Amino acid sequence: MTELAAVSVTALKGVGAALAEKLAKVGLETLQDVLFHLPLRYQDRTRIVPIGALRPGQDAVVEGIVAGADVVMGRRRSLLVRLQDGSGTLSLRFYHFSQAQKEGLKRGTQVRCYGEVRPGSSGLEIYHPEYRALSGSEPIAVEQTLTPIYPTTEGLTQQRLRQLSEQALARLGPHSLPDWLPRELADDYQLSPLDQAIRYLHRPPPDADLEELAEGRHWAQHRLAFEELLTHQLSLQRLRESVRAQQAPALPLAKKLPRQYLANLGFTPTGAQQRVGAEIAYDLSQSEPMLRLVQGDVGAGKTVVAAFAALQALEAGYQVALMAPTEILAEQHFINFSKWLAPLGIEVAWLAGKLKGKARASALEQIAAGAPMVVGTHALFQDEVRFAKLALVIIDEQHRFGVQQRLALRQKGIGGRMCPHQLIMTATPIPRTLAMSAYADLDTSILDELPPGRTPVNTLVIADGRRLEVVERVRLACNEGRQAYWVCTLIEESEELTCQAAETTFEDLSAALGGLNVGLIHGRMKPAEKAAVMDQFKQGQLQLLVATTVIEVGVDVPNASLMIIENPERLGLAQLHQLRGRVGRGSAASHCLLLYHPPLSQLGRERLAIMRETCDGFVIAEKDLELRGPGEMLGTRQTGLLQFKVADLMRDADLLPAVRDAAQALLEHWPQHVSPLLERWLRHGQQYGQV
């Protein structure tokens, strides 16, 4: 029997070139694809409900005799059909109708219809029901299974998708759709056969538990979610193995440079920094590439750890590249590393997308000639950037970069052969469940200790009706010698409008706070302008800085102890936590005021309450994951990662430990099953192992 993965959709009755093109848009090219295109939800058309038993909000099949059909002139002209079945009367209302339709629904016609029941002016009504007139004495059977509702695209009707899935199901069997989970593995994890699960989900029987199906807790969904998560895990394991199989320069432990660096640093690293530093130093001394993720809450001192790693490569005579997602954060790193490395006689090169002409050509030349430390944005990924001896890549805020981008750095290694070590840092703590799944290709270190002298930030939630009080509070703090941030957040996702709002706020606050020096910083300003304003704020020449969220990461002004965030309900918890981390960097008590615009939604209230209750980034990350889901948290909307068909990381988190074990077992005992699984689930997504 031919495997359905090898049979084109054009083998199905009624699928010509035009329809095949539409199906390809939703990723349906083979019969296997059609079977894995699962319903979103179901309708119960398996029984006829008496009109007298109908309830508002119910979807139901109803049968009755037309008692009258009239064109009614209300606000909009409509055809109103009254249907009776002996238990009650129901109105069917059509706003779009033809004369022929009206003729077909004349008094005495027997009709079966389906739709959502809602209260109307004349009792219960169904708007635009699906219906058919019944003729003859032969009763027409109701549906034998629940009716599937499929994800669709323009030009593909539910009817057509049902017909196609019906034909594909007719060819489904254990041989036409091989089960790549070996029997003993499936038995270990109590997983049902694949073909049974697929058949069930396309055509659930009338007694299926609709609630269980809607919540994704059904055994058939569980079976497919397990296989999908397993495949995702395998692709990351394969990626990890392919990277580990490459050669990396083994960097001996550094002695001289770290000692000099420490002497200039002015403080002793925390225990956590020393522990994580030692883990990294060990990895760097090996000849296989390091793949390590360092998670640390806002202000835990990841940059210091990164500097120690850089010094190990620099002392061994190699190049280091540090990459950040935004110009402002990259600039911050450039300033820090220049300050730290200048006394050690090490030059730092700079490359960003905005660097043009001669300055760019000169930077590229500097890098190709072997500038030891290179800092930049993802401009460092570009083909024209050539490194002389790149041994270590440090990536800040990994979730802003796609997996593929991270891997593009391989080609930048020594002679294109040696793979650079990778150190990835994030200040967005990642819940354990997500880390197990999304970053299965990385080793993880956690900085769980804040440097001494950091004070927890007191957070208040205030309605914007009290704006004048807040402005006075800013005046008071600044008059006492402290500094403050006023953050304007996104307006309707438009950077331009946000910058305008920031400019207006800047003008209003400058007028209201006469005598104080107020600065402004936003994304539309040139890097040099932003750097100048930040510098003035750092030096204490500006008391209040009005900013957009460009200051989210990396800006360090210990004297700033007050932050106001306008419309915080527009931001995710992780971003709010990042912003709040800009204060509380000195010894003064620090405050963050969340100035929201009422009324708040239930979700908005919950999120702001979490910000008020905790400063622990990991707690916030867990809550953020619950409230927003994994795609947004990891920034993977952009990167194509984790676009699951069946699985849901939050709902199926309890499966992950078993999935990891099963992936290991499969790689050890049934390696020949790995490729068919990747082909089945990830053909249209990313196979991370193939770059």
pLDDT at 243 over 80: no
Q: Are 457 and 253 in contact (CB under 8 A)?
A: no
pLDDT over 90 (residue 83): yes
Residue at 339: amino acid letter = K
Q: Which of 251, 262, 244, 346 is CA-nearest to residue 305?
A: 262
Cβ-based neighbours of 173, under 8 Å, separated by 6 or more: 1, 195
pLDDT of 640 strictly over 60: no
Give the pLDDT band of residue 636 (cuts 50, 70, 90): very low
The tens digit of pLDDT for each residue in 541-574 reads 999 999 887 775 556 788 889 999 998 888 878 7
Parallel, antiparallel or unpaired: strands 319-323 and 373-376: parallel
Least confident of 162-176, 267-281, 489-503: 489-503
Is there a contact between 131 and 111 (Cβ–Cβ < 8 Å)?
A: yes
Q: DSSP of 32-77, one letter per residue?
A: HHHHHS--SEEE--SSBPPGGG--TT-EEEEEEEEEEEEEEESSSE
Provide the β-strand partners of residue 590.
Answer: 457
3-state helix, strand, coil in the chain (%, to 5): 45, 20, 35
* pLDDT value of position 688: 39
pLDDT at 691: 30
Is pLDDT above 50 for 690? no
How much is the average pLDDT of 127-145? Answer: 81
Compute the half-sphere exposure of residue 34: CA atoms within 13 Å on the CB side of its CA: 29
pLDDT confidence bin for 576, thresholds 50/70/90? confident
Place of tokens 């354990």: 432
The tokens for 543 are 């008391």
- What's CA 285's distance to the chain center, in Å? 34
Q: By the 8 A CB rule, do 524 and 550 touch?
A: no
Closest to 652 in 3D by CA, of 437, 350, 334, 480? 437
Residue type for 370, please?
A: G
Residue pair 204/42 in contact by the 8 Å Cβ criterion: yes
Q: Does residue 647 surpass a pLDDT of 70?
A: yes
Cα–Cα dist 414/248, whole Å? 9
What's the CA gap between 525 and 328, in Å, rounded?
Answer: 11
3-state secondary structure of 626: helix
Contacts of 645 (CB under 8 A, 6+ apart): 36, 38, 224, 228, 681
Cβ neighbour number for residue 25 with a 10 Å cutoff: 11
pLDDT score for 75? 82
**pLDDT single digits (tens) 20-73:** 988 988 888 999 999 999 998 888 888 899 999 999 988 899 999 999 888 888
What letter represents residue 515's amino acid? G
Residue 638 is predicted with a pLDDT of 32
Which amino acid would we find at residue 553? V
Residue 119 sits at φ, ψ, to 5 deg, of -70, 140
Distance CA 385, CA 411 (A): 11
Give the closest residue to 409 by CA, choosing from 311, 289, 294: 289
Percent of the chain with pLDDT over 70: 90
**Residue 215 vs residues 198, 210, 222, 651: alpha-carbon distances, Å:** 17, 9, 11, 9
> For the segment 320-336, what is each residue's pLDDT rounded down to a tens digit?
999 988 777 788 889 88
Which residue did the predictor score with more confidence, 555 or 411? Answer: 411
- Is residue 60 within 8 A of residue 54, CB to CB? The reply is yes
Nearest to 689 by CA among 418, 404, 420, 435: 404
pTM score of the predicted model: 0.66
- Closest of 326, 365, 374, 324 to residue 346, by C-alpha: 374
Task: Give the model's confidence band at 406: pLDDT under 50 very low, under 70 low, under 90 confident, else very high.
Answer: low
All domains in the chain, ordered by first residue: 51-134 (2.40.50.140), 256-447 (3.40.50.300), 457-614 (3.40.50.300)
pLDDT at 285 over 90: yes
Q: Which H or E run contains 147? A: strand 147-149
